[in-house]
Structure 1
Amino acid sequence: MKKAILSIDGMTCSACSNGLEKYVKKQSGVLNAYVNLVMATLNVEYDESELTLADIEKFVAGAGFKSLGEFKKIEPQKQQKSQKIKFILGAILLLLMMWLSTFANIQPTHKVWALSLLCIVFLFEGRGILSSGVKNLIHLMPNMDSLITLGVMTSFLYSLYIAVFAPTAPVYFEGAAMIIYFVLLGRMIEGGARQKTLEAVQKLVTITPDFAVLLKNGKEQKVTLDEVKKGDVLAVYAGDKAAVDGVIVEGSAHFDESFITGESKPVKKQIGDAVLAGSFNYDGYVLCKAKNIGKQSSVSKIVQMVAEAAASKPKIARVADEVAGLFVPIIIALALMTFIFYMWRGADLSFAVVKFVTVLVASCPCALGLAVPLAVMMGEGLALKEGILIKKADVVERAKDINAVLFDKTGTLTDGKPKIAKIFNYSDLSDEDLIKTGAALEEKSAHPIANAFKAYLFERKTKADRVEKFENLAGFGLKGVVGGKEVALGNAKLLKEYGLTAKSGDEKALTNEQNSIVYVVIDSKLSGLIGIKDMIKKNVPEVIKALESKKIEVWMLTGDNESTAQKVASKIGIKNVMANVLPNQKTQKVHELKNAGFAVMMAGDGINDSPALTASDIGLSIDTGTGIAVSSADVVLKNDNLMSIVKLFDISEKTLKIIKQNLFWAFFYNALMLPVAMGFFAPFGIQLSPHMASIAMILSSMFVVGNTLRLR
């Protein structure tokens, strides 16, 4: 299976996106397809043994749209400039046509001029709309453009007929032009609004510089990113941005990573620290060894994840799409019924035509199509600015139901920068050699505690011993042969496996200081207790209080012993604690709470958290964690601030509220405008002309856009 995200040109409403999605899905070799209207992307999964990307692009063309290739940055400035030119030209032509129409009944030849100008409008202004409308009618996938096309062409052909056979009768050339003009005006405003919803993503796409300074043979040279290879050494000057992900090998500087983490305070980076592509160097000169380049960089992967998230849809969006998919054919049917009804009642042909066109134009499902995706993208963009990456769009909907949050302790509630605080050594080895022996095993582990051993040796400028026959004892610890001796280290359950007990006084001394205990066993003998200290993250107590104020039950799950766990929990204000927890027990706890009626969020950062992250209603991972934990999560925190979890709930709540308001307005507007357009209120003097209907349609979409922008 292969995945691809294509940028699509020509989609104007939800009928377009739904039609393209259904058309691509039914093709042989396509496993799944999702379309996002706001981002104008097609996310497709296909069997690469049957299809190529070129085949997928042919399917897109077959559905009446154009593929712009794999998802890339859009150029809003060029698009906006083109739209402004069309807007000005359209305004001039429209004013000329309105002036001509004033004298149309006195000077019939003016109708010919009006017709000529209308052809220019069609060519330069409405070509895209008419072409899209006709194509989608041919493919039996009518969309908003199809409704506009039917309305405009009906006005045009009727006016052409009148101009030839009844020169003194009123024509509607300018009415057809007005419809196109106001639709284009609405799309220009809507396009600007879409850019605002995507500005957080756009910032990420454009954050990386196009060039880098390569250090080669002692000389610096400016090169493109395509010329940079993994392992190359690049210079980053003060005032420049890092071109690739890398590791500092010389120098130090403060870097701004707010575009990913949401934290505005610059972070000091020195030798051995990672630097992200796009991060801004404030004040130093550093040399970095290139690690991840181009599509492999952190920022590119985030953009990819955002695009994939945009392809997913919350349940409420799927319902809205189903309704919008039925809407266009229903409107066409109602417009025909309106025309037939007035002709049957003996009305003038011109009156029946006007009503037909008005129904088509007034009832376009624009607002309905924008109601959900625009709000979801705005919410996700707002979250991204706070360092919160939402990987699945339905998180916005699911978050409102969460009433239990489970935190893994190490690396999630704590800084994830553990240090060896105290050693009780029962062996013949020195403290340093005991740590070197343990570090031989820990170097093979992705658990945060391994960093404590690495830091200890780094400070003393020494290295770990070599390990053979390494074995990961799930839920207990690690095992291997070091220097010809069988070595194991882990938690209290490891001691039980060996039938050993530790000195209670030593254990108590460590737990009283809230240390996690690592037990070292050499040749089946207890050889030492190592106290690991990991500081609690800033504002964790405030986070717990904020969650509890939202009626959310908070749990702490940890592999630490009961005494250490309770002391840590008491310090940060968590009442519910599970100590001595194995990885499978975390998953069991998630299922237990779900069976009890809770909607569960699991927050963790390690490999052993991945099953629980997957099992929970929302899995949240800290990006300082392992790749497996991040890939298992629905939400990724790009910063180290757990208050972002509270912000996630707030953003989700606001986004869902906006979605409901948008949908209410979209349905209310159509429920109101349809009977008005069909003439139900004509006896009361309330009627719509086609161009007024197009203005009403624009205002409806603008309400949705304006309401959504309140999220900013």
Structure 2
Amino acid sequence: MTMHIQLPISGMSCANCASRITTALNKLDGVEATVNFALEQAAIELSQDTQLPVVLESIKSQGYDYGEETLLFQITGMTCAGCSARLNKMLSALPGVISADVNFSLEQARITQVPGVQSPASLREQIEALGFGAQLAQGSASARRQQLLAREEQESAAAHKALVQVSISALLTLPLLVGMLAMAGLLPWHLPAWLELVLATPVQFWIGARFYRGAWLAIKNRSANMDVLVATGTSAAYFYSLYLLATLGMAASGKLYFEASAIIITLISLGKLLEARARRSTQSAIRELMALRPESATVWRGGEWQSLSVDEVLRGDRLRVLVGERVPVDGKIVSGESELDESILTGESLPVLRTPGDNVLGGAINRSGVLEIEATTVGEDSSLSKIIALVENAQMGKAPLQQLVDKVSAVFVPVVMVIALFTLLVWYAITNDFGQALLAAVAVLVIACPCALGLATPAAIVTGTGVAARHGILIKDVDTLQKAHGIKALIFDKTGTLTQGRPVLASWSGSEEQLRLAAALQQASEHPLALAMREAVQGASLPQPDEVEVRVGAGILGKVAGHSVAIGNPSLLAALGIPLPAQAEPDSDSGNDGATRVWVAIDGAAVGIAALADTLRPESPAAIATLRQRGIASWLVSGDAPAPVAHIAAKLGLDGAFDSVLPAGKVEKVEALRNQVDGLVAMVGDGVNDAPALAAADVGIAMGSGSDVAMETASITLMRSDPRLVADAIDISAATWRTIQQNLFWAFVFNIIGIPLAALGYLSPELAGAAMALSSITVLSNSLLLKRWQPKAASHVSTHSHV
């Protein structure tokens, strides 16, 4: 059985580590893996779940770790120790389970597993399949959130430890700067040689232990990484100084290089500390999204309101949401109304009014009234879970440029080692000064950093997709992120995309009482035009119709409050023998304004005509105008008749329109437009019938108010029914791509310029160490600038949209 897992990986020190793990895993039969250094995660696909132990062993054997998580279940139905033994054996055999401990007396099962392999729901199903009852005993909302919290605690502890170590390292290194000033002739005296040794040794072997560990693991696995460069360079400086001290004694004062190794380790450790903080900041989008899910929900169970874990909520459960609480799961409002803050999910800046019958999103904040909702989707099927999955999938991908970077990184460290050795030999041959030659070689080793290269692409992708998600733009994968900024033409579906998706009564030529009778008859129909007429008289008391007859393609007739009422096109009235007014055109049911017109006849006489139109979204004109300013052509496609389609196209100033197009024909229009324009073609739609065209386009963009099929097929999902987000999606793609290019430029510049300068002796090892730390920080800081990106629209119109 195929298995997809996301594993957190700890212990990586640079991009070469990620590349090495990826290579080793992909050598295993039936395993496809991608390791992201910036996210410290591995996305792994196994053709058989039995391969998981081999994969885990491969990661461990290379010196890295993937952590573990513990789940606690309360078990019912066990009658003896044999039951617990049987359950223990079954749980221990599950893929990803490290250990299982079933306690018969406590009626509990404690399961320790590889993070994310088995969900609480799947474990519960496995336990129940053996005939036992199981309930998650933890108060957390999900295992994934527990994993996040545990990982945050570990990162916080690691960051605190690193800060303490860097602070101590700085205090020990500070006096050694006196030696540098003395060697530069700025001070008339030197530190005693023995004191330099005492200060430098703990920095070299305690603070620098991480570099030795990383170097040993890399060498043991026949590869090289940043740790090899740092350990080699600093060890050379330290042990050469130790050799001079042993041979010259106190006369070695002023000739030692202890300060060089200590300062390098201190600066690089500080750089790694800042790098880790910046890297966590790039991942903030996922953390924020996962934090949206409440841990508990108030559920109507057993005739009373009970507080339960969100994991225990089932589809169809009735839940209560108080003011200030987050909606626990996706649902439909049963009673109450309130304004909901959905900004983190949809990017809508203003609270949105929700009333009975409306859908609500799990994670939204209830701002004003008490709501009772019926759960419609729970667990991994919820909108929030799908959003998290989409963002994670996009962030784990690799851009095409990254493939080049990976190839460079694979040979980077060995090449640098060769350059450093060559530098040492050439300098010694020219100057006959081994100390000077050693400093130049150490500078080459220290300034060469593959970390910046490894972080350049993923850091930008993680930040770009994260900020896009905050503003209601979900990008499916890296390929889409790269392509979207190259869009030159867009085809918009009409209904529900540029228009509201439902007709409204634009005009009525009769009296209010006549409209009320017509609306009463329309209660017997679910046609969109019937709904529009009913909504036009909302609040009015409508009598029930009798003797209703629906004539397909013509209209509807029946009795209402003693009156004979007929609603339909001119052919229906003609069939009933009802004459039209002299000014009417019997062969026309549509005007030039794009509205559909239906006649209403009461007691054998035509009394009025209703113009029903699917009105434009208020944001559509601005959306098309923005695209036009950027030189992007906009087209319209619809299955509607020519008149309404032409009216919409003219009103928006579109470049062209396709009318009377069947769902299958939309694919042909995408292909036709692709042959006309010099660039990529995108399709924007929201319905099931748009799915083939969304898949056929270079980039498919689905409106979040549409169907799940459209959203799953599309490359980009807009979480609000706002067509202005189309231009914003193109913008964030362009901004992210620019950032990737800038990052790679700076990463290569640091190395292309820095290594020759170090080899020629223009950079001291200390400056080289600072430059190495600065390279990664520069790349990450540039990526974090993407967090300042904002949609171009100054404000977003709050719409009564549904997801």
TM-score computed with the length of structure 1 as normaliser: 0.82
> Residue by residue, what CA displacement relative to the aligned partner does 1:60-117 show, whole Å, maximum 9, x if unpaired?
3234322132375365576356424433443334433553686897745435523552
Structure 1 residue matching 2:293: 3-state secondary structure: coil
User: What's the Cα RMSD here?
Assistant: 3.6
Q: Is the 8 A contact 2:3 2:49 kept in 1?
A: no
What amino acid is the match of 1:659?
I
Structure 2 residue runs without a partner (length 5+): 68-114, 117-143, 180-188, 509-516, 546-551, 554-568, 570-579, 599-608, 789-803
Name the amino acid aligned to 1:126.
G
Percentage of pairs with the same residue: 32
The one of 421, 436, 445 equivalent to 1:360 is 445
Matched, 1:83 2:159: yes
CA–CA distance in structure 1, aligned partners of residues 208 and 191 of structure 2? 29
133 and 418 in structure 1: CA distance in 2 versus 1, 3 angstrom threshold: farther
Q: 1:382 aligns with which of 443, 467, 472?
A: 467
Structure 2 residue identity aligned to 1:99: P
1:578 deviates by 0.2
Asked if 2 retains the 8 angstrom alpha-carbon contact of 1:14 and 1:325, the reply is no
Q: How does 1:310-459 map to 2 (within 5 A)?
A: 310-345=395-430, 347-418=432-503, 439=526
Q: What is the aligned residue count?
A: 645
Deviates more, 1:100-109 or 1:413-422: 100-109
- Local SS of the residue matching 1:621: strand
Alignment deviations for residues 640-693 of structure 1 (CA, whole Å, 9 cap, x no partner): 1111111122222222222222222222221211111112xx4xxxx2222221
Question: Contact 1:147–1:361 at 8 Å: present in 2 too?
Answer: yes
Show the counterpart of 1:514: 594
Counterparts of 1:99 and 1:560, CA distance in 2: 81
- Report deviation, 1:49: 5.2
Letter in 1 for 2:403: R
Q: What are the equivalent positions in structure 2 for 1:239-638 lying under 5 Å apart? A: 239-345=324-430, 347-418=432-503, 439=526, 505=585, 508-512=588-592, 514-515=594-595, 533-596=613-676, 597-638=678-719
Q: Which moved more, 1:323-332 or 1:305-314?
A: 323-332
- Distance in 1, matches of 2:586 and 2:214, equals 77
Residue 565 of structure 2 aligns with which residue? Answer: none
**Aligned equivalent of 2:794:** none
Secondary structure of the corresponding residue to residue 186 of structure 1: helix
**1:445 alignment partner in structure 2:** none
Q: How far apart, in 2, do the equivalents of 1:116 and 1:332 lie?
A: 24
- SS of the counterpart of 1:394? helix
Q: Distance in 1 between matches of 2:26 and 2:611?
A: 56
Partner of 1:671: 752
| Residue number in structure 2 paired with 1:23 | 24
- Alignment-mate amino acid for residue 536 of structure 1: L
Amino acid at match of 1:3: H
Please show how residues 123-142 of structure 1 align to structure 2 within 5 Å.
123=206, 125-142=207-224
- The letter for the 2-side match of 1:562 is P
Aligned to 2:65: 66
CA distance in 1, matches of 2:223, 2:398: 21
Residues 272, 95 of structure 1: alpha-carbon distance in 2 compared, 3 angstrom cutoff: same
TM-score (norm 2): 0.73
Give the AA of the match of 1:553: A
Residue 75 of structure 2 corresponds to none
- Measure how far apart 1:249 and its partner are: 1.6
| Partners of 1:346 and 1:462 in 2: CA distance | 106
1:157 to 239, 257, 268: 239
Q: CA deviation at 1:232?
A: 2.2
The equivalent residue for 2:97 is none
Deviation at 1:511, TM superposition (A): 4.7
Instruction: Give, in whole Å, the separation in 2 of the partners of 1:590 and 1:327.
Output: 44
Is 1:7 the counterpart of 2:25? The answer is: no
Q: CA deviation at 1:630?
A: 0.9
Shift of 1:358: 1.2
Alpha-carbon displacement from aligned partner over 1:370-419 (angstroms, at most 9, x marks no partner): 22222222222221222111111233321232110010111111223445
For residues 157-186 of structure 1, the C-alpha deviation after alignment (integer angstroms, 9 at most, x for no partner) is: 334434444434344344323222212211
Question: How does 1:201-220 map onto structure 2 within 5 Å?
Answer: 201-220=286-305
* Matched AA of 1:582: L
- The answer for unaligned runs of 5 or more in structure 1 is 424-429, 443-447, 464-475, 478-491, 493-502, 519-528
Q: Closer, same or farther in 2 for the Cα pair 1:372/1:451, shift >3 Å?
A: farther
Deviations 1:200-227 (A, max 9, x none): 3321111122122223244333222233
CA distance in 1, matches of 2:737, 2:530: 41
Secondary structure of the structure 2 residue equivalent to 1:400: helix
| Counterpart contact for 2:686–2:703, Cα < 8 Å | yes
| 3-state SS of 2:51 partner | coil
Conservation of the 8 A alpha-carbon contact between 1:97 and 1:117: no
The letter of the residue matching 1:549 is Q
Separation in structure 2 between the aligned mates of residue 73 and residue 213 of structure 1, nearest angstrom: 24
Q: Contact 2:520/2:534 (CA < 8 Å) preserved in 1?
A: no
Distance 1:695 1:49, change over 3 A: closer
SS in 2 for 1:271: coil
Asked whether the equivalents of residues 87 and 184 of structure 1 are also in contact (C-alpha less than 8 Å), the reply is no
Which one-letter code corresponds to 1:568 in the other structure? Answer: I
On the 8 A contact 1:118/1:173 being kept in 2, the answer is: no
Q: Which amino acid letter does the alignment assign opposite residue 777 of structure 2? A: M
* 1:547 Cα deviation after fit: 0.5
- Per-residue CA deviations over 1:445-465 (Å, capped at 9, x if unaligned) read xxx9999799899998999xx
Distance 1:262 1:608 in 2: 26
